[in-house]
Each structure stands twice: as structure tokens, then as C-alpha cells.
A and B are shown apart, each in its own frame.
Chain A
Amino acid sequence: MKTTIPVEDGDVLAAIRAFLGRLLESGALEAIYVPLEAAGGAAVPALVTDPARMAQANPLAPVMPINGARAVSALTGKKAPGRVGAVLRSCEIRALIELVKLQQATLEGLTMIGLDCPGTFEVPRYMERQGQAGGGLGDYLAAAREGRDPGSDGLTLRTACQMCLHPAADQAAIRFELFGLDPTQGIPVDIPDALAEQLGYSAASADGARQAVLEKVLAAHRAKRDGALAAVRAQMNANGGLPSLFNACIRCHNCMTACPICYCKTCLFRSASFDHKPDHYLSAAQRKGALRMLSDALLFQLTRMNHMSASCVGCGMCTSTCPSEIPVGMIFSAVGEQVQAAFGYEPGRSLEDPLPLVTFQANEWTEVGEAK
């Protein structure tokens, strides 16, 4: 049901903290995954069981150090040990759904708590922003209400967020709505009826301008996205193309480590198969007169595309973690978009959609395999 969480003297964060606290106190949930504010102003993803700890919880912090899907995968595995909740952004939820299909996580016993997401900043930007005036929560919420980019000159949102097409956490069981609304008057929440009763909430609708503002945000993001992807595609198809884009890659595998979809225990490229003998490198070098060290950088990226581009939700964590500032996420979004389009597949939309590469039809792409 739709309800509204009362907010006292405009302190939205407090209201949310209280709400999360009550989820634990009431015993509705045994633990909740949520960022806690830590010394130095960092927001650290944590699993909270003690309601008192909720005093530091800050789901509204515009930062995403990791994609929560990985965390949830870790704490549910093939079955959640207890009644666990997780505060997640849309990109985290969609990644989580892919991981569920890949049997790396389960929604069983998990309560997803989502928020409308106006976007996040890279961790360093977030830290900078902390200090600044107008960089506070109020401004962030206002941006959400007006449907404008919370970023400001010099302090821009993560590019992935600027072009996010899923700012609303539609699949979450509990959903905090921010777009087009003034939460200081009470925070509209979508919540399962049973839970609402248990916590003693009653139905109350305050939809306001949310839909309109959401449209506006999407429009802006779509425009941004189209431009950005067009740009990166231009680069990929330019002379040198993709290889030159990855020339800066140092094969640190950060992108893979940060990627919520890359679930392998050990990446193929870290396995014995790519742990070559010295003579291998020598003969490889002899072929072209020079061999890139570490080798197979592009092969690694292409193989990763091949493994996960169908499931890529565009969270951009790869870009965020790339020390060489290669627009990895942009590239993968560009590729992913085409692969997903080919199969009419939208990652994270629903558990019902099977992964495109583990299913098939007898009578599809019948032209493929026949000489043109």
C-alpha cells in the first residue's frame, strides 16, 4: 500500500533512520544492509542488526562505493540465512536480479528497500561535496523534487547516473519516493500491506508531481545517454577503434572486481589457463615483434563483454574503479545495449526473462549460417 512516513521538523534523514530502526525493532527484519556514516564522512555499506546503529545510517548519501548486489550476493548466497533487508538503488536491484538468475543470490527471505535515485557522485567528489555549502541533503532532495541534476559545476554526478534510465527502484518491496515530492512534509512509501499493518501504517496517497518529474528526469538522462553513447561508439569505430581505447588498460581487473555481474570465483584470465610459461610470451612476442605486457588485455575485455554484456545494468562501477580512467562502463553500455536489443532482453527487469544465452528457439535467425 502507499503510505506516508511522518517527518518531524523537516528532518527527512531522521525519519528514514527511525523507519529502518523500527523494521529491526519490530522484528520484521533481523538485519538490514545500508550505508553507515563513518569517521571522515565516508558512507560505508554495512549490515546492521542493532537498531541503535541506525543513527548513522544514511541511505540518502549520494554515493555508491560498491554495487550492493555484490554485497547481497555475499549475504544471501543461495538462501538468505534469515529475514534480511537491503537498501538498494535501482542499478543495484537490477544487478541483483541478474545475479539471482545466475544463482549467485536469492530473493528468498530478502526484503529489498529501494529509493528514488537522483544519482550518485564518485567517492572523491562526494567527499569534496561534504564540505561545501549547498552540497547538503536539502539541495539533493530539492533537485529530486524539481527533477534537475543534483550535480553542480566541478561536482558532477557519475556519468552512469547522468544517463541512468532506471532512477526509480520499481522492483523493491519497500520504495521511498522522492521525485516531484517534498519529503519534508512526509515521505511517501510503497510498502507491503502486511508489513504496513505490523508497523501500524495506514494508506495515504501523496503522489503529487512524481510521474511528471520522473518523465523529465528520464528525458534528460536519455538525451545525455544518447549523446554519450554516440560519442563512445564514434571512438570505438574510429581508426584504431576499441583496441586504442583500451591501450591504457593495465589489466588490473578492477572493472571486473567492481562489476556486480562478474561473479566468477576466479576470473578465467586469472586462472592457470592464462598463467603462461615464459616461452609462451617469447614466441608470442616474436609474432608481431612486440607483446603487450600484461598480455591479452583486449581479449580480457572482449571476453568479459561476451560473458556479461547481456546482463550489464550500466551501473558504471567499472568506470568508477578504472585507474586509467577508461570509459569502461560507457563502452560496455554501448555494447550491452546492442546485445540486449538483439535478444529483446532487458537485464534486471524480471526473474521471468531467461538469460538469452542459455535458451534458444529452433526457428530463429534462420538466415544465420547460410551463405549470403
Chain B
Amino acid sequence: MLFTSYNFILFLLSLFIIYYIIPKKYQWMLLLAASFFFYSFSGWDNVAYITVTIIATYFAALKIGQLHLQQESYLKENKGSLSKEEKKAYKEKVKSSQKKYLLICLFFDLGILAVLKYTNFVISNINSISRIFNAGEISFLDIALPMGISFYTFQSVGYLVDVYRGKYLPEKNIGKFALFVSFFPQLVQGPISRFDDLGHQLYSGHGFDFRNVSFGMQRIIWGFFKKLVIADRILPAVKTITQNPDTYQGIYVLVGMVFYAVQLYADFTGGIDITIGIAEVLGIKLKENFERPFFSKSTAEYWRRWHITMGTWFRDYVFYPVSVSNAMLKVSKFSREKLGEKTGKRVPVYLSTIIVWFATGIWHGASWNFIVWGLLNCLVIIVSQELEPFYAWFHNRFNVRGKFIFKLFQVGRTFLLMSAIRILDCYRNVPVTFRMYWSVFTKWNINELFNGALLKLGLDKADYFVLVFGIIIMIAVSLAQRSGSIREKLSARPEIVRYAAYVGLFISIIVFGAYGIGYDSNQFIYNQF
């Protein structure tokens, strides 16, 4: 069921009403039922996959939790009678059996994701290699990727590893744990939540609080505005440009990049606003996933403000474990000896970064586009890290660091760089993308921007008018958000202004939204990940 479908809106409204009618202690059960009902629309086989992941993770975490408790009580009982070595040996024994459960469950959960998502990709690569030796071809598996599998798998893995690290005890009630994994708003495209964050909120009842409901509703409407009025309206132009690389080159590639950056931002942040809005109406606070990413002045900063929960997930469950693992410590010792202290230190860090970015890329999609997307991001981060001394030299040569113009330059540079790399999502494959990058420099057709060619991209004057109107509002809101939440500020203003804002936004969605016959409302981009 799409977020932008009438059924979903009906489902949402009825859920809100029932949620606040029934007694608080049944609220989490209602949410669980609603989440599975929502998920069943994407097919019962998908429900089977998510249930399997839930059960496997639940039992593995339970077992690991029990072992923690056993260890604690055992150590407390014979506190005095054990020597340091015995205690250490016992701990090792418990640790290794816990590790066994952890690895089995990880292999299982991530295995499902890998098989469903990457089999065809692997087959196609094998085929392309075998085609060189014109050996036979393997036929493809026709499995549709379950909705949101990448998100709920990562959320379950996060929970399992936290329990293994003893951060908190596992959830005893399988129903409650199932709700944590399948909580429908975040199921489709995140944010990827942590159990100690979301768990208790889901299970504790929430009374009707007008402020929550009104703020939540506003956020939902704001999300729909970005998705329907901006993202879906600019989509045809992005499609025209990126699906006909032979006709649209040179300046069009830049136009395509900027348009796609706008579309992806509006689509993804819009979807997350709807998600967080829904949770807020239900009295649940989800983690913010964006913090005005396009105002960041460097790539590293951009990746701390875009898709934050994914970033922190990869940092806590991939980057740190990898870079602190014994293997990596050995590498750092080896590199420090061979290459000297200063550069030697960097090798393990960069190696872990590459690993993380490769994982991020492949997680985004089963194709070389995304792998290269990840690696390019990694390259930019590493190069800018390496250029630190150059930056330092540059800054004390011309002290422009504070100047507004320089900040503007940095923001512009980061925006263009990120959009350029991000366009890999759209082009058919990597070579085409690189050909397009190259065409930007070689094919000079800037004049095409002004001779009305823009109107042939599937957008007419009216569309551009709406897009400009929408983007200006989006930028204005982001600027205002820097000094506090818009909704707080708005609630302080007189009624007429508030009424105009809420209803104006609502009506502009109804009238200017790109939905209905002729637009066929599109899935959220991140739905297919």
C-alpha cells in the first residue's frame, strides 16, 4: 500500500481514531495488528519473510540474554572462590557460546536479505563473464524484493548486536518485539531505530494529547506537500534526461543532477516527515533522519546530516567493529612499521572507511551503480581528509574561513558534488554515467537552457511555476528551522496566520499535487531498497 494512496489515508485516520479510543494497555497490540495488516498488502510471502526474521532474531537474542544473566548470577554466587584466571576463562566460554548464537542469527537474517536482493545481481555478473567465454547462461530467479526488507533486517540486526554487547536485555514478549521490527511507518523507508530508543515508547500507552496530534498532522501534511507537489512533479524531467542519455548530454546532465537532487530530497525527506508525523500523532518520538543536509559545507558533514540513522547504524555496527577488530589492529601495526607512524596510522582507518562505503553502496541496491556510488563517496571523503594540510595552508594564507561567500561556495560545492555522485541512481549503468560526466565538459550547449528546450522535458510552464513555488517554500522552511522548530514558531503566531498556513498547505497539495490519472502516484524512491 503506497503512502500516497487513498486507502493509506483511510487506514491512517481509522487507526488514529481507534488508537485513542481503546484502553492504553491494548494500544501496542493495535499497532502490531495495524503493521501486519499494512504489510500484508505487499503480499503474504513478504509477511512470511518478516515473520521468519522476527522469530529468528527473537530467539537468538533471548538465548544470548539468558547467557548474560547466567554469567552474572554465577559470578555473583562464587564471588570469592574464583581466581582471576578462572573468572576470565568462564567469561570467555560464555562469550564464545553467545558469539555462536549471534553468528548463526546474523548469517540467517543477512542471508535472507542477500539471497533475495543479490542473487540476480550475482547471476547477471556470472552471465556477463561467461558470455566472454560464451559459456551457457544461468536464468534469473524471479523473486520480488519484499518491501522494506533492507530496513527491518538492519533494525533487527542492530537489536541483536546490542543485546550481544549487553547494552540492554532482550524483549521477552515476542509480540512486542515483532512490533518493534514491523512498526509500519518506519517499515517502508526507515528511520532505522534502536530498541532502547523506540521499544519502551511503543509499549507504553499514550493518552490523547492535542499538541502531539496537531504537530504530527502538520508534519504529515508537510511530508505529502514535498512528495506530491515537488518530488512527483519534477520526476518526469529526471526520467526524460536520465533515460535518454544519447539525446540529453552536456548541460542537461547538470540539469538532471540538480533536478534529481531536488526530487530525491523532497521524496525522501517527505516520506520521513510522514513517518515521523504518524509516530508523533501516536505519541511516539522517532529519531530525525535529516538535518538540512544541503546546508553542509563538506561531504563528511553532509553524511552526518543525510539519512542520519543509516549513517549511525553503519558506524556502530560496521565501522567500529571492523576498525577495532584484531585483524585491523594487526594491519595497523603492520602498516605503521612499514610506512612509518604518520601515514601508517591512516591505513586502517581508510580501509575500514572503504569497507563501510562498499557495504553502504551494495545495501542501497544490487547493481554496480550503487557500489560505485558508495566508493565515489568514500573517495571524496578520503581525498578531503588527505587534503586537510592543504586546507590549513590555504586558510592561513587567505583568511576567508568566516566569510559568507566562502561558506556559500562550500555549500554549493558540496551540493553539486553530492548530486553528481547521486545521479548514479538514475543512469542505466556506470559507463553511461561516466560518459555523461565527461559530456558535461566536452559538449557545451548552455544556450539550450534558454531556448525553451526545458519545456520539452515533460514539464510545462505550469509545472515549473509550481516547482519554483514549492522549492522556495522548502528552502524558506529549512532556513527558518535553523533557529528552532517551525511548528513551535507557528503555534505562537495569531490564529489567522496559523489557519492560513495549515489550510493553504493542505489545499495546495489537493490542487498542485502531482497525483491521479496521468501522474499515477509513484512509489517512494526508498521503497525499493
Q: Do the two chains belong together in a single complex?
A: no
By a beta-carbon cutoff of 8 Å, the part of chain A in contact with chain B is none
